Chains A and B, each alone.
Chain A
Amino acid sequence: MEDAVSLTGAPENKSPEISFIRRLLRMRETGLIAIILVLFLVMSFASPYFLTWVNMRAMVMAFAVEGIVVVGMTILLISGGIDLSVGSVTALAMVIAGWLFLNGVDPWVASAISIAACTAIGAFMGFFVTVVGLHHFIVSLAIMVIARGACLLGTGGRPLGLYTLPSEFKFIGQGSIGPIPVVILIFLVVVVGFDFMLRRTTLFRKVFYTGSNEKAAAYSGIRTKRVIFFTTTLCSALCGVAGIIYMARFGSAQPTFGIGMELNVIAAAVIGGASLKGGSGTIFGAILGAVLLSVVSSSLALLDVSVYWQDIIRGSILLTAVSIDHYLVKKRR
C-alpha cells in the first residue's frame, strides 16, 4: 500500500491512466469479479451443466430477490446499523399480504398494506435505536423473534396456499419480458437505482457521513438520528418488497421462509466491502458478494457436495474474506 502514501506527494509525476488502473486494482469490486470469473472458468470445465442458460437463470433467480434485501442491509450497514430481522420480516410480508388476500382483499392493495406494515416495523426499530437508545443488534434480534412468532400465529404454522392469485399478480414473480424474468428486471432496477442514489444524492451522502464518524457528522450539522432512523426503516421496507415478490413467485405465503437469511445477506454485504463499523460499502460490491455466494452454492450443488457441507463452506468464505479485508485495512493505516 505504498502508493497510498505516495499519493500525498506531487500528483504530476504520474500519468492519469496508471493511477486509474491502480485505483481499479485497489477496488474490492475488481478482486471479487476476478474471483467470480475464475470460479466460472473452473466450473465450466468441471461441469457441463454450469454454463447453460438454465443454470445461469436459476442462479440469478436464486439471489435476485434476496439481492433487494442486500441493498437495504448494505445501506443500513453503511450508516452503522445492522438488522437481524430481515428473514422474519420478509416472511411476515408474505403472511400479511397472503392473509389479507385470503380474506378478500385485492392482492395489489394487500401488497401495499403489507409493505407499509413492514415499513412501520422498521420505523418501530428505528424508534428504539434512535430515541430509546438501544443497539441495533438487540432491537432487531427481538423483532426477528417477534415477527417470526407473528408469522406462525397468523398461519397456524402452515403455509397459506394462494391458488386463486390472479395471473397479473403472479406475473411479478413468474413472468418474463422477452427472455428476461420480471424478478430479475425488478432486481436490476432496485440495484441500479439505489447504487446511483448512494453514490450521488446528498441524502445518501449523509448516510456515509453518519456511519463514517457519527460525532463528526453531528458536528457538521447532520441530524444523525434521523439518518439512522431512515436507513433502519428503509431496510425493513425493502424486506416488505422482497416478501411480496416471493409470494408472487411461490403462489403461497410461507411462515417459515427466510430463516437464516440474515446470515446470507450480511455476508454478501460484508464480502462486498461493507464494514460493520459503518461508513463504507457499495451496492455493486454487495451484489457481487451475493453473486459469489450464489455461484459457490450452485457449484457445490452441481458437484454433488452435500448440503451440510455447503453451510460450512459459506461460513468459511465469509471468515476468509473478512480476514483478508481486515488485514489490508490494517496495513494501509
Chain B
Amino acid sequence: MYGPVMSDDLILKISNLSKSFGPIRALKGVDFELRRGEIHALAGENGAGKSTLMHVIDGILQPDSGEILFDGVPVKIASPAMAQKLGVGFVHQEIALCPGVSVAENIFMATTNSSRALLMNYRELERKAAEVLGELVDIDPTTLVRDLPISHQQLVEIAKALTLDCRVLILDEPTAALTETEAQILFRIMRRLADRGISIIYISHRMVEIFDNCDRVSVFRDGQYITTRNVAEITPDDVVNAMVGRVIDELYPRKQSEAERSDEVLLDVRNLSERSRFKDVSFQLKKGEILGLAGLIGAGRSEIVKGICQLEGEVSGEIALDGKTLSLKTYQDSIAEGIVYLSEDRKGDGIFLDMPIAGNVSALKPEQVANGFGLIIPQKEKEQAEELGARLNLKYGSLSDPVSSLSGGNQQKVAIAKMLSINPKLIFLDEPTRGVDVGAKAEIHRILRNLAASGVGILVISSELPELIGVCDRVLVVREGRISGEVTGDRMTEENIMHLASVGDVQVALQ
C-alpha cells in the first residue's frame, strides 16, 4: 500500500460509501482517495461499481450512506450542476454534443445556459473557445461538430469540461473511439493538465494505457474497493488478479464430458472480415458444445456474429453450416438456414413489448401458425407459445398479455422461445442473461446446455467472465476485431481471458 499522505494533498476523499438499486448493492462501503494533480486509473470488470462511483461524484446518483470530502470539506453532491460548481468535469464514454452546432457553442453550452444575456455574443464565444482549444488541438471553433472526426469530438468534450474550471476531470474510456496516435495526443494533454494541478480519474480496460500513463490505480470488484497501488510498484498481472479474484459458484450446469465431445463441425467460419469492424476471423463450432465469445466492449464480438447472420455490415469470408457452404445475403436467408441471433438489447430490439406473448413467440415465422391462405390460426399460435413456454418454464398469466407484463427473466425466455419457434440449427446469444435475476439466469444456462446436448449450436457472447467460464465448453477471445486466442479446460480462467482481451499476448496468458 502507499504511505500516509497529508490530508490537504487530497482533492477528493470518499469513505465508506454505499449505494443500492433495489436489492442490488452496487457499492458496498467503498473508499477512494484522489490526490491533487495525479492521474488515477480505475480498474474493474463491468459491474464492479466504477460507473456508479463516478455517477455519485458527478451528482447523477445520490449515495445511501458514506462521506465525501471535497478539498477537505464534507459535501453532498446533489446534482450534476452542483458537481460542476465544485469543479468536477465528466467526459462520458458516449459523446454528448449537439452535432448541428459549432464547436464554440458546444464548448460553452453550460455557460450559455446559465448566462443572463439575452443575445448570443458569437465573436466573444469563438475567441474564448479558441483560447481553450489552443491548449488541446488545432480546431476552428466555428466548425460544426458533425464535421469533426470522432477523436476531435472527444477533445471538444474535454475542452467543454475544462471551461468549467474543473479541478477533477473524469474520463470514461476516452480512447475507445481514438486511433493510437490520437490517444497519444490525449495522454500528453492529460499529463499537461495534471501538471497544472488538475486531478484526473481515468477509467479504462486497457492495461497498457493504465501502466503507461497513470500514476496510481484503484481496483474495484463486485461493488467493493479492493486496493490502490502505485503503478510503478506493480504489474498488469497484479491488477488483473485483483480485478477477478473470485471463486466461481456452483450455479452452472454440468459441462460436456470428455466422452460427449464430438469432432463433428457444425459451423465453420473462415477468414471472415468486415471493412472496419473485424478481420480474418476463423473458428469452428462443434456439435454439442457451447462456445463462448469474450472480449471488451467494442472489441467486435457482436459485430462478428451479426456479420455471420447478415444483420449488419458487408462481410467477406466463408461460412459453412453442417459442411455446406452458405451464401447468405440477408438475415432472412440466415433464418431460412436456421441461424438466429438473440439481441443484447432485449427491450430495444429483442421483443415487441406491447404485443401479446403468443404474437412475440411466433414473430420469426408467423407462417408456421397460419394456414395456406396466410391466415393466422389463433389456436395454433397459442399451442406453439404454450409448448415453448412449458419447455422454458415460462411464467405468465395469459398468452394474450403483453410481454411488458412479465419480469426481465421471463421476457428473455419469450425472446428465446421466439428463436426456438423455427427449430434453429444455430443460435447466437448476445448477453443472454443481462438484467435477469439469479434464478432465471441459472435456468437460462440450463436451457442452453440442454439445447446444445440436443444438437443445436450455441454461441454465447457475455461480458461476465464467470458466466462464460461457468457455461461454455470453450471460449474464444476477441480483441480489436481479431480473435486473439482460445481457452478451454483448465486454461479457461478469468486471468487468461482478461489477458487475451486487454493485452492480447497469447504467450503470457497461456503460461
Of the listed residues A6, A213, A220, A279, the one surrounded by the most CB atoms of chain B closer than 10 A to its CB is A220
Chain B residues near A202: list those with CB within 8 A. 366-367, 370, 374-376
- Is A256 an interface position by the 8 A CB rule? no
A324 at the interface (CB under 8 A from B): no
Task: Kindly report which residue of chain A lies nearest to residue B375, judged by CB atoms.
Answer: A200
- B397→A7 contact, CB < 8 A: yes
| Binary contact readout B323-351 vs A (1 if CB under 8 angstroms, 0 otherwise) | 00000000110110000010100001111
- Shortest Cβ distance from residue B356 to the other chain A in the assembled complex, whole angstroms: 10
Q: A219 and B395 in contact (CB under 8 A), knowing A8-B405, A200-B375, A209-B352?
A: no
B-chain residues with CB within 8 Å of residue A4 when the two chains form the complex = 401, 405
Q: A19 and B398: CB pair below 8 A?
A: yes
Q: Does A280 contact B (CB under 8 A)?
A: yes
- Residue-wise, chain A 1-44 has the 8 Å CB interface mask toward B (1 for contact) of 00011111101000000010001000000000000000000000
* Complex interface: chain B residues within 8 A of A215 (CB): 348-349
Report the nearest B residue to A279, measured CB to CB: B354
List of A residues within 8 angstroms of B367 by Cβ = 202
How many residues of chain A get a CB closer than 8 Å to chain B's CBs?
31
**A11 with B376: in contact, given A213-B352, A218-B331, A220-B418 (CB under 8 Å)?**
no
Query: A180 at the A/B interface (Cβ < 8 Å)?
Result: no
Bound CA–CA A212/B350 (angstroms): 12
- A279 and B397 contacting across the interface, CB-CB below 8 Å: no
Residues of the A chain whose Cβ atoms lie less than 8 Å from the Cβ of B406 = 8
B355 in contact with A9 (CB, 8 Å): no
Closest chain-A Cβ to B364's Cβ sits at a distance in Å of 5
Please indicate which of the listed interface residues B359, B367, B397 has the most CB atoms of chain A within 10 Å of its own CB.
Answer: B397
In angstroms, Cα B375 to Cα A221, docked, is: 19
**B359 x A205 contact (CB < 8 A):** yes
Does B265 belong to the interface (CB within 8 Å)?
Answer: no
| Selected contact of B398 from candidates A7, A200, A203, CB within 8 Å | A7
A284 interface residue per 8 A CB criterion: no
Q: How far is the CB of B106 from chain A (nearest CB, A)?
A: 26
Cα-based distance from A280 to B359 in the complex (angstroms): 13
User: A-facing mask of B397-419, CB < 8 A → 1, else 0?
Assistant: 11011001111001000000010
Closest B residue to A3 using CB positions: B397
Interfacial chain A residues near B375, Cβ < 8 Å:
200-202
Residue of B nearest to A7 (CB): B397
A206 with B366: CB separation less than 8 A: yes
Chain B nearest CB from A205 CB (Å) reads 5
CB of B396 within 8 Å of the partner chain: yes
- Asked if B78 lies at the interface with its beta carbon under 8 angstroms from chain A, I say no
Q: Which residues does chain A contribute within 8 Å of B407, judged by CB atoms?
A: 8
Q: Are A333 and B404 in contact (CB under 8 A)?
A: yes
Interface positions of A from 161 to 209, Cβ below 8 Å from B: 200-203, 205-206, 208-209
Out of B341, B374, B401, name the residue touching A7 (CB < 8 Å): B401
Q: Which residues of B contact A208 (CB under 8 A)?
A: 352, 355, 359
B311 at the interface (CB under 8 A from A): yes
Render A210-228 as a binary contact track against B, CB cut-off 8 A, 1 for contact: 0011011111111100000
Decide: B374 and A203 in contact? CB cutoff 8 A. Answer: yes
B242 at the interface (CB under 8 A from A): no
Partner of B350, one of A9, A219, A221, A279: A219
* Chain B residues within an 8 Å CB radius of A201: 370, 374-376
Bound together, the chains give a CA A121 to CA B153 distance in angstroms of 42
CA gap between A206 and B355 in the complex, in Å: 12
Q: Are B355 and A209 in contact (CB under 8 A)?
A: yes
Establish whether residues B376 and A205, one from each chain, have CB atoms under 8 Å apart when the complex forms.
yes
Q: A275 CB to closest chain B CB, in angstroms?
A: 9
Least CB distance from B465 to A in Å reads 26
Contact present for A200 and B376 (CB under 8 Å): yes
B363 at interface (Cβ–Cβ under 8 A)? yes
Docked-complex contact B405 and A216, CB < 8 angstroms: no
Is A221 a contact of B353 with CB atoms below 8 Å? Answer: no
Q: How far is the CB of A243 from chain B (nearest CB, A)?
A: 29
8 Å CB contact of A213 from B335, B341, B353, B400: B353
Residues of B contacting A23 with CB < 8 Å?
400
Which of chain A's residues has its CB closest to B364's CB? A220
Contact B366 A8 (CB under 8 A): no
Interface string of A117-140 (1 = CB under 8 A from B): 000000000000000000000000
Q: Tell me whether A221 and B335 are in contact in the complex, defined as CB-CB below 8 angstroms, given that A203-B374, A212-B354 are known contacts.
A: yes
- With a cutoff of 8 Å between Cβ atoms, the chain A residues found around residue B376 in the complex are 200-202, 205
Q: How far is the CA of A6 from the CA of B396 in the complex (A)?
A: 10
Contact assessment for B352 and A212 in the assembled complex, using a CB-CB cutoff below 8 Å? yes
Given A8-B406, A200-B376: A279 in contact with B341 (beta carbons within 8 A): no
Smallest distance from the beta carbon of A4 to chain B beta carbons, Å? 5
Q: Is the CB of B405 within 8 A of A5?
A: yes
| Chain B residue at minimum C-beta to C-beta distance from A205 | B366
Given contacts A8-B396, A202-B376, A205-B376, whether A216 and B331 have CB atoms under 8 Å apart is no
- Cβ of B355 to closest chain A Cβ, rounded Å: 5
A279 CB to closest chain B CB, in angstroms? 6
- Residue interface mask B270-296, A partner, CB < 8 A = 1: 000000000000000000000000000
Closest B residue, CB atoms, query A1: B405
Q: Enumerate chain A residues within 8 angstroms of B363, measured Cβ to Cβ.
A: 209, 216-217, 220, 222
Given known contacts A200-B376, A202-B366, A206-B366, is B404 in contact with A216 (CB within 8 Å)?
no
- Which of B341, B374, B398, B405 is the one whose CB lies under 8 Å from A219? B341
A11 touches B398 (CB 8 A): yes
Which residues of B lie under 8 Å from residue A217 when comparing CB positions? 352, 363
A6 touches B355 (CB 8 A): no
Q: Closest CB of chain A to B300's CB: distance in Å?
A: 19
Interface centre among A8, A223, A279 (most CB of B within 10 A): A8
Bound complex: CA A1 to CA B354 (Å): 15
The answer to whether residues A221 and B364 also contact, given A5-B405, A8-B396, A216-B352 and a CB cut-off of 8 A, is yes
Q: Mark B364-378, 1 if CB is under 8 A from A, else 0.
A: 111100100011101
Structural contact, B401 and A8, CB atoms closer than 8 A: yes
Q: Give Cα A204 to B332, complex, Å.
A: 18
- A5 neighbours in B (Cβ, 8 Å): 405
**Which residues on the B side are within 8 Å of A333 (C-beta)?**
404
B345 shortest CB reach to chain A, Å: 8
Which 3 pairs of residues, A with B, have the shortest CB-CB distance? Answer: A7-B397, A215-B349, A202-B366
Q: List 8 A-B contacts (CB under 8 A).
A: A7-B401, A8-B406, A205-B366, A217-B352, A219-B343, A221-B364, A279-B352, A279-B355
Q: Add 14 more A-B contacts to A208-B352, A222-B363 (CB < 8 A).
A: A4-B401, A11-B397, A23-B400, A200-B375, A200-B376, A201-B374, A209-B352, A209-B363, A215-B349, A216-B348, A216-B363, A217-B352, A220-B418, A279-B352
